[in-house]
């Protein structure tokens, strides 16, 4: 377990030295969500209706933006090979890297979402549900995305390919995440959406590091 936290700490420290990479995803999220009202018009009723979908799609794309760099730097400088050879299981180290990625790319989105939701005239309880859904959903996006990042490691045209591989797999998270907020606005029960998101998160937390490790081993061969 020490190796796990060491990996998380190391990745966070590295990211703090290169702040621009972390901030790119956050700025992207802010700008994209702010562009939609400009493109659609300032009508509050319409904006309120499309807010959950827009915030979720923007969060999804912002996560995607940071994914190619998840393993790339470590692959180039040989750290990844050292990790594969180290005595602690690679799956644990990979899980640490995924957690670090979420803390850097996912958590800022969760924290920013309520502020951006205000632009769309969402009320306090809807903002709460939105934040909760993103809190459950963004780790899921990082976990699934890590599989794609490992598969496309060092492959030409990696970034676009990653989007093609991963976006279809993001659909359930998008549906239930945005669905929770929509259901709340429509006055329906949101427990089902959130528990399904949580169930998918547990499933992904169990399987995704494992699949990512297998994909990384293939890339390192």
Nearer to other proteins, 15 or 208 (CB): 208
Please name which of 110, 134, 126, 137 lies closest in space to residue 184, comparing C-alpha atoms.
Answer: 126
Judged by CB under 8 A, the number of residues near other proteins is 29
Interface segment toward other proteins; rule CB under 8 A; list 48-56, 90-98, 111-119, 212-220: 212-220
CA distances from 23 to 150, 183, 185 (A): 23, 31, 31
Cα–Cα distance measured from residue 141 to residue 132, given in angstroms and rounded to the nearest whole number: 14
Contact call for residue 169 and other proteins (CB under 8 A): yes
Give yes or no for residue 200 binding other proteins (CB under 8 A): yes
Question: Does 165 engage in binding with other proteins (CB under 8 A)?
Answer: yes
Q: Which of 72, 73, 175, 198 binds other proteins (CB under 8 A)?
A: 175
- Residue 41, token pair as written in the block: 């018009």
Choose among 89, 40, 46: nearest CA to 185: 46
Quick one: how far is CA 208 from the chain centroid? 13
Token pair 């976006």 in the structure block, residue: 167
Closer by beta carbon to other proteins, 62 or else 173: 173
DSSP per-residue codes, 152-176: TTT-TTHHHHHHHHHHHHHHHHHHH
| Rg of the chain (C-alpha set) | 18
Please, which residue, 80 or 112, has the CB nearer to other proteins? 80
Interaction between residue 183 and other proteins (CB under 8 A): yes
Binding characters for other proteins, 99-138, by CB under 8 A (x = yes): ----------------------------------------
Q: For the chain, percent helix, then strand, then coil, each to nearest 5?
A: 85, 0, 15
- Minimum CB separation of residue 20 from other proteins in Å reads 28
Check residue 149 for interaction with other proteins (CB under 8 A).
no
- DSSP structural state of residue 89: -
Piece of 53-61, 88-96, 125-133, 211-219 that binds other proteins (CB under 8 A)? 211-219
Residue 92 near other proteins by CB under 8 A: no
For residues 119 and 34, is the Cβ–Cβ distance under 8 A?
yes
Q: With CB under 8 A as the contact rule, which of the stretches 17-25, 66-74, 132-140, 164-172 interacts with other proteins?
A: 164-172
Q: What is the DSSP string of 119-151?
A: TTT--HHHHHHHHHHHHHHHHHHHHHHHHHHHH
Residues near other proteins, by CB under 8 A: 147, 151-152, 155-158, 161, 164-165, 167-169, 171-172, 175-176, 179, 182-183, 196, 200, 207, 211, 214-215, 218-219, 221
């Amino acid at each position: 377990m020490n190796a796990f936290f060491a990996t998380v700490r190391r990745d966070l420290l590295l990211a703090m030295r290169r702040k621009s990479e972390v901030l790119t995803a956050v700025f992207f999220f802010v700008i994209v969500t702010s562009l939609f009202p400009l493109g659609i018009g300032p009508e509050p009723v319409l904006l309120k209706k499309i807010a959950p979908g827009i915030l979720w799609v923007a969060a999804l794309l912002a996560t995607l933006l940071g994914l190619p760099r998840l393993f790339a730097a470590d692959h180039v400088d040989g750290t990844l090979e050292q990790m594969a050879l180290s005595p602690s299981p690679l799956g644990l180290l990979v899980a640490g890297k995924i957690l670090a990625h979420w803390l850097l790319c996912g958590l800022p989105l969760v924290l920013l979402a309520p502020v951006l939701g205000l632009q769309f005239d969402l009320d306090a309880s809807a903002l709460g549900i939105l934040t909760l859904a993103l809190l459950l959903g963004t780790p899921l996006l990082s976990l699934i995305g890590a599989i794609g990042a490992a598969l496309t490691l060092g492959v030409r045209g990696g970034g676009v390919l990653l989007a093609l591989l991963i976006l279809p797999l993001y659909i359930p998270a998008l549906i239930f995440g945005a669905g929770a907020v929509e259901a709340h606005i429509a006055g329906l029960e949101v427990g089902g959406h959130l528990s399904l998101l949580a169930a998918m998160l547990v499933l992904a937390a169990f399987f995704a590091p494992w699949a990512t490790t297998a994909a990384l081993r293939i890339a390192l061969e």
